[in-house]
Structure 1
Amino acid sequence: MNSGVRFRAAPRRRVVPAVALGAVLALASSCAGGSGSSADGEAPRDGGTLNLAIGREPDCLDPHQSPSAAARVVSRPIVDSLVYQDPKGAIKPWLASRWTIAADHKAYTFTLRDDVRFTDGARFDAAAVVANLEHIVNPKTKSLLAASLLTGYESSRAIDAHTVEIRLKEPSSALLDALATPNLGIESPATLTRGNNALCATIVGTGPFASPGGYRQQQGIEYVRNRDYAWAPPGAGHTGPARLDAIRIRVAPDNSARYGALTSGQVDAITNLSPVNLRELRTTDGFHLFSVPFPGIPYTYFPNTEKGVLADVAVRKAFRAGIDWAQIVKNVYFGAYPVARGVLTSTTFGYDKSQESAYAYNPTEAARLLDQAGWTARDAKGYRTKNGARLTLRHLWSDPSIEDLAVQIQAAAKELGIEIVEENIDEGTYVDRILSADYELADTNFASPGPEVLKVLYGSANVPSPTRGLANNISRTANSELDKLFLQAAASDNVTERLRVYGQAQRQLTADAASFPIYSPLSTVAARSAVRDVTFAIDGSPIFYDTWLSS
């Protein structure tokens, strides 16, 4: 992992405990804002530079290529979307002013705004939309998420300068939700021919900020206000250009250094607080804590269901039941994160609460299942064996922030008679091992506003392979009945029916023990008290369009 920018640690005496000031915000939309004044009556003002330190470096600035949450955070100030999704999941106009959907749900026709320009001066029009969609689905782009959001895409065409039609091979009621994400954000067509590496460094959009210098590895990114911006979506806290003159983002992977940079005044705000810092800041004067739960997939251990010992569903169920996940989360995170009890987080639209009991700690049942699966003998170290082979799971990871969690899970598995070999590897090796299915466990979480993310994470078309590339189904689930449910949900324009089908999919995934959910992450921005009106997208990403600095 890259070390990022190094900050000096803050002297502890600079942090004075006081009454808690951290306000936990309700989930806000990407442009939801206040009434035009702060809680203390001070009116928002324009100007100033926000200095922000983030915990993870994006692998690539281009959201068409990168699936990471870090990429969404750093690209959203630059790129707008055709439509915008409000806090309740409703789709509203943005770069598209209106749209119609064909009766068979295979054609969407969008009327576009005619007053929008990219920050390179080019006009936004139907041809730009076509160029972006074709860029996303082009195999040469090597999209790790955006292309999967366009599953079923057939073609797009400019009917006229400000009307575009998108055609699908199969019905997809989730298309509008997908078009609202930064991953399908609109970039200047002139830049799309520069090649993947160039776009990973610099992108051009229609957003409230531009970044002429682009993203520089281990240095960060700087944005300047787009003074011509006049097309924020409905619900924004204000209209016109962003309030800030500029934003300066630096990467500081080390939690203590990042927190010290905030408390010592080296930066105005930070993301990715550790649970210890999160608890401390809630009782520290002079700071705001903005926080929302991430919807989507919890932080999860994913089993390789395709081959190896976890191809046996009995062993998967035993591993799920035999680890006291709730106690481990409490031990490691001090109650800062909710325990996960399903394949989706509990705040995700469409979450099926009925499956929570299946994720309860039950070591007796776990032992029974392992005996049933033939792992009845024990070796000298107490690990279960079958035919002389030890029950061993290799866990791939490359993020040092999970080390404490991994160690506790490893210890709990040993009590169950399962050996976990922790393989902390570099990112290149990680990719190679995922592509070749050379692992038993891998981990991630995945932010998404609705249950459609289940198709991205568990659809058989998204199993990674050397030919398909690094797709997102790292559990390697290939269940034809599940695929049918995803198609059924995508074809329905009735919300109640879609949620019923996605509930059925959650029950199938639970029955298959296709994942081991651990905790639900929080999206947090900690800031000095002068930083006002940080909002969040529906996927939990922080948004700084309405943000301003008080005097």
Structure 2
Amino acid sequence: MKKIVLIPLMLFLAVGLVSGVCNGEEKPRYGGTFTWNHNGGIPKIGAPSDNLGIAGNRNMYPVLEPLLITDEQEHLQPWLAESWETSPDGKSITFHLKQGIKFHDGTDFDAEAVKANLEALYKASIRGTGVLGKVASYDVLDKYTLRMNLKEYDCTLLLRLAQGSMGQMASPTALKKETTPENMAELHAVGTGAFVFDSWKRDTFVKYKKWDGYWQKGQPYLDAIKIQNISDLTVSVMSFKSGEAQAVENLDPVDARQLEKEGYEIYQPNLYFLHSILPGGANPNSPFHKKKVRIALAHALDRRTMAQGIGMGYYEPLSQLATKHDPWYNPDLKFREYDPEKAKKLLAEAGYPDGFKTKMVSDVMARRDTLVAVQTYLREVGIETELEILEFGAAFALPRQGWDGVYFPGFPNVGTLVGILDRWGVSDNYVGLYRPPGWQEKWDALIAQQDDEKRLAQLKEILAILHEEAVGIPYQGDAPQVVRADGLHNFNHHANHMVSYWTPHNIWLSK
């Protein structure tokens, strides 16, 4: 009898192992609700043309999918668009769309739908979509083929379609419906994604439920997703520890380190946000117009100690506008180490043996501990700074108006090619910076470049000039710290070197 019982038992265990584990890895399980806490706000839910605000795409990925995505090296990859090609003269881009995909309301995803979305975005003048003004017209060549006819080629057009809300597709049928703030989420949040809109309360939560008609068969795994906006980080972490949520984003480094000590997993993406100090070198009468003063500024800062102390080891000290994770990182650029004596020597050679006084302009988004540290380091080499803190409106306007002294942006530079270009590579932003001869022409040539490898070489050349001339002083990179619960799988925010990107259809819970 023992043998008769043992054989079925062994078979049962073998089947269980095969069904639950694949090549040593646990297979995805179905069911459950994933709850994610962040403090980035949920001001609107709808379509991109409804102007969802900064990082609005973060809250919409369960519903709205992009035409394209990128990989970690920022090479374009297909998503709703199966393939695309740019004409040799750069005058057109043709998209070949995946077939057989429908929006949640039954509308076909096709060339007319893409055209309707892009036209609605441009008409609404949504921030970041100005590049669509370089599109002269759209030609629907057949149901699943769309051609963009361009006034001029801009390499960021395809990247913006991949990396931001500009490429997220909503049902054109839904877009025709008039909305109010109260019903916009229900009427316009209609996409091709793995989840459909369920409910929402402004700046509190949004909930999505599984869509059985998703085009990727066998997905999603979850029954529902709930995104909660909790501004108080202590409350958010308590919610996580109680089991109410499985992830919390935008942790303070101190809290992240404590949670890690308690045994929790801390995740950081490869996409970093780049912090820089910006000397006002455009003014020929400013001390910062002199290269030696700008380099002195770089040597005055102990960036390694700041990254370790303030960032608790989660931040990366920078001496160039790239982290070691970025495809344009240049290992040949020498790190400008903390050297206050060298900084003083450079200041003396520039005509300031006793230092000088200047303004430091920052904003309410800046960390006060970092501001204090920077002021202290500058004071030690003889640069006395009078701090001025701007409110949001003035802070957003300042980079296009210019400044005297040193500008310390509270909100960092998104570490993507588009993020770097939007701040450093356009003539009407960061206007207070010293611009070396040929600076703008090099950026313009990069924008017009179709070849990925040549464009990468151009970017490295420009960033080498930025470093050599100390146009700006990068000092640290930080990637958001996210605590993830044991049993949560495939939740990777800011994945694929894309701001706010995540893949809701891939997420599953084993507990």
TM over 0.5: yes
The aligned counterpart of 2:33 is 49
SS of the residue corresponding to residue 135 of structure 1 reads: helix
Counterpart amino acid of residue 57 in structure 1: G
Distance 1:429 1:500, change over 3 A: closer
Query: Which of 482, 497, 510 is matched with 1:539 structurally?
Result: 497
**Residues 413 and 271 (structure 1), Cα distance of their counterparts in 2 relative to 1, 3 Å cut:** same
Compared CA separation, residues 479 and 198, structure 1 to 2 (3 A):
farther
How far 1:181 moved relative to its partner? 1.6
Secondary structure of 2:213's match?
coil
Match of 1:511 in 2: 468
Q: Aligned-pair RMSD on alpha carbons? A: 3.4
SS of the aligned residue for 1:114 comes to: coil
Q: Which amino acid aligns with 1:301?
A: I
Asked if the contact 1:49–1:244 (Cα under 8 Å) also holds between the matched residues in 2, the reply is yes
8 Å CA contact 2:362–2:390 kept in 1: the answer is no
Is 1:124 aligned to 2:109, yes or no? yes
Shift of 1:517: 1.7
Could you tell me how far 1:166 is from its partner in structure 2?
A: 1.3
Matched with 1:460 is 426
> Are 1:204 and 2:190 counterparts?
yes
Whether 1:413 and 2:378 are equivalent positions in the alignment is yes
Q: 1:282 to 1:448 in 2, by over 3 A?
A: same
Tell me which amino acid in the other structure corresponds to 1:100. Answer: E
Distance apart, 1:270 and its partner CA: 0.7
Counting aligned pairs with the same residue, the percent is: 23
**Aligned residues between the structures:** 480
Q: How does 1:296-375 map to 2 (within 5 A)?
A: 298-307=274-283, 309=286, 312-314=289-291, 315-357=293-335, 359-375=336-352
Q: Please state whether the residue corresponding to 1:170 is helix, strand or coil.
A: coil
Tell me if the contact between 2:364 and 2:390 (Cα under 8 Å) persists in the aligned partners: yes
Contact kept, 8 Å, 2:322 with 2:415, in 1: the verdict is: no
- CA gap of 1:208–1:526, structure 2 versus 1, over 3 A, is same
Cα 1:291/1:329, change in 2 over 3 Å: closer
Q: Is structure 2 residue 483 aligned with structure 1 residue 526?
A: yes
| Paired residues for 1:178-197 under 5 Å | 178-184=160-166, 185-189=168-172, 190-191=174-175
Q: Is the 8 A contact 2:253 2:314 kept in 1?
A: yes
Matched, 1:147 2:92: no
TM-aligned CA distance change 1:76 to 1:420, over 3 Å: farther
CA–CA separation in structure 2 for the residues paired with 1:172 and 1:198: 37
CA distance in 1, matches of 2:141, 2:463: 40
The aligned residue for residue 164 of structure 1 is 146
Return closer, same or farther for 1:460/1:477 CA change in 2, 3 Å cut-off: farther
1:414 CA displacement:
2.0
Which amino acid counterpart does residue 47 of structure 1 have in structure 2? G
User: Which residue matches 2:11?
Assistant: none
Aligned to 2:63: 78
Give the superposition deviation at 1:506. Answer: 0.5
Which among 227, 233, 252 is matched to residue 249 of structure 1? 227
- Partners of 1:80 and 1:206 within 8 A in 2: yes
Distance in 1, Cα, partners of 2:145 & 2:474: 43
Distance 1:196 1:479 in 2: 49
Q: For residue 349 of structure 1, give the secondary structure of its aligned residue in structure 2.
A: coil
Q: Which amino acid aligns with 1:115?
A: G
Shift of 1:446: 3.6
Which residue, out of 251, 268, 280, partners 2:246? 268
Deviations 1:512-547 (A, max 9, x none): 423222222124431221222223521254433211
Between 1:427-436 and 1:221-230, the stretch displaced more is: 427-436
Aligned partners of 1:339 and 1:518 also within 8 Å: yes
Closer, same or farther: CA 258–300 of 1 in aligned 2, 3 Å: farther
- What is the one-letter code of the residue matched to 1:396? D
Q: How far did residue 164 of structure 1 move?
A: 0.8
Cα offset for 1:245? Answer: 1.7
For 2:325 and 2:53, the matched residues in 1 are separated by: 21
The residue that corresponds to 2:365 in the other structure is: 398
Q: How far is 1:324 from its partner?
A: 1.4
User: How far apart are residue 474 of structure 1 and its match?
Assistant: 7.2
Shift of 1:230: 0.8
Q: Higher mean Cα deviation, 338-347 or 116-125? A: 116-125
| Paired amino acid for 1:415 | E
How far apart in 2 are the matches of 1:66 and 1:410? Answer: 37
Distance 1:162 1:338 in 2: 45
Aligned to 1:211, what secondary structure does the other structure show? strand
Q: Which position in structure 1 is the counterpart of 2:85?
A: 100
Kindly state the Cα deviation for residue 213 of structure 1 after the two structures are TM-superposed. 4.0
How far apart, in 2, do the equivalents of 1:247 and 1:475 lie?
A: 44
Relative distance call for 1:290 and 1:393 in structure 2 (3 A) is: closer
Partner amino acid for 1:265?
Answer: G
Assess, with a 3 A threshold, how the Cα gap between structure 1 residues 141 and 172 changes in structure 2: closer, same or farther: closer
* 487 and 434 in structure 1: CA distance in 2 versus 1, 3 angstrom threshold: closer
Where does the alignment leave 5 or more consecutive residues of structure 2 unmatched?
1-18
Q: C-alpha displacement at 1:509, in angstroms?
A: 1.7
Q: Distance in 2 between matches of 1:335 and 1:195?
A: 47
| Rounded Cα–Cα distance in structure 2 between residues aligned with 1:87 and 1:323 | 30
In structure 1, the residue matched to 2:159 is 177
Q: Deviations along 1:244-293, whole A, 9 cap, x unmatched?
A: 122111222333332232223332211122222322333434x4433323
Gaps of 5+ in 1: 1-34, 232-238, 378-383, 464-472
Q: CA deviation at 1:479?
A: 6.0
Greater mean deviation of Cα atoms: 526-535 or 113-122: 113-122
Counterpart contact for 1:302–1:516, Cα < 8 Å: yes
- Measured after TM superposition, the shift of residue 300 of structure 1 is 2.6
